[in-house]
Amino acid sequence: MKLLLIGLLLVGSAQAQTSWENSPYNWKNSAMNYENSSSNYNNSPSNYNNSPYNYNSTNGVYDNQGNRQGYITTNPSGTVNYYDNYGNRQGYVPDARRSR
59-78, pLDDT tens digit by residue?
999 999 999 999 999 988 88
Tell me whether residue 23 is in a domain.
yes
Q: What is the CA radius of gyration of the chain?
A: 18
Tell me whether residue 99 is in a domain.
no
How high is the pLDDT of residue 17?
Answer: 54
12-56, pLDDT tens digit by residue?
444 545 688 778 888 888 888 898 888 999 999 999 999 999 989
Which whole-number Å values give the CA distances from 1 to 4, 8, 35, in the listed order? 5, 11, 47
> Domain of 20?
2-93
H or E stretch including 4? helix 2-22
Question: What pTM does this model have?
Answer: 0.70
The total of structural domains in the chain comes to 1
Tell me whether residue 61 is in a domain.
yes
Tell me whether residue 100 is in a domain.
no
Tell me whether residue 98 is in a domain.
no
